[in-house]
């Protein structure tokens, strides 16, 4: 059972969260398992935040919604949901100051109660770097199953019961 010492809320991303997102995206400890493992440059950060704030219609492939996890009144992590052809991809980053406190588990638990209804889907997917054992375990504990490995990433899915 994951430790969950703090309760969180997921707050939709807004412009005021930009400094927090920049702090995560420019921290090599956070980005180690994201994309090519490099920190994001200013241009990439700006483009990603702009896309997140653009609020494309949720049925559109590529539509994304970002949420900042708030713990005890402070930003602690980021949850990203993106419409893909095969389902909605769930991703999450935790600020290093909150590592080991159960924040990632709390973020995913909260996202599982929010994302399927928001996007009107019954299939969530996640891609995990095989070296990120903690993330793979976290997803497995929540019912995600491994499906394939491509492009150096393990692919997981969660099929939810119909409402």
Q: Mean pLDDT, the chain, as a whole number?
A: 92
pLDDT in the model for residue 20: 97
Give the pLDDT confidence of 31-66 residue by residue, as tens digits. Answer: 998 888 899 999 999 999 999 999 899 999 999 999
The sheet carrying 87-94 orders its strands as 8-12, 64-71, 74-84, 87-94, 123-128, 153-159, 145-150
Blockwise average pLDDT, block size 10, the chain, 163 residues: 67 96 96 89 94 92 96 96 96 95 95 96 94 94 91 92 66
Q: What is the largest CA-CA distance in the chain?
A: 42
Q: Is the Cα dihedral 21, 25, 27, 29 positive or negative?
A: positive
């Amino acid at each position: 059972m994951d430790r969950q010492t703090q309760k969180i809320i997921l707050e939709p991303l807004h412009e005021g969260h930009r400094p927090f997102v920049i702090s995560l995206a420019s921290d090599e400890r956070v980005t180690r398992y994201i994309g090519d493992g490099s920190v994001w440059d200013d241009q990439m950060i700006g483009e990603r935040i702009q896309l997140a704030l653009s609020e494309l219609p949720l049925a559109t492939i590529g539509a994304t919604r970002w949420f900042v996890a708030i713990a005890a009144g402070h930003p602690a992590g980021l949850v990203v949901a993106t419409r893909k052809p095969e389902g909605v991809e769930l991703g999450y980053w935790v600020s290093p100051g909150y590592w080991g406190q159960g924040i990632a588990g709390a973020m995913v638990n909260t996202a599982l109660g929010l994302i399927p209804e928001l996007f009107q889907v019954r299939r969530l997917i996640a891609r995990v770097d095989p070296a990120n054992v903690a993330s793979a375990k976290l997803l497995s504990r929540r019912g995600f199953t491994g499906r394939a490995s491509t492009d150096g990433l393990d692919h997981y899915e969660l099929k939810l019961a119909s409402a």
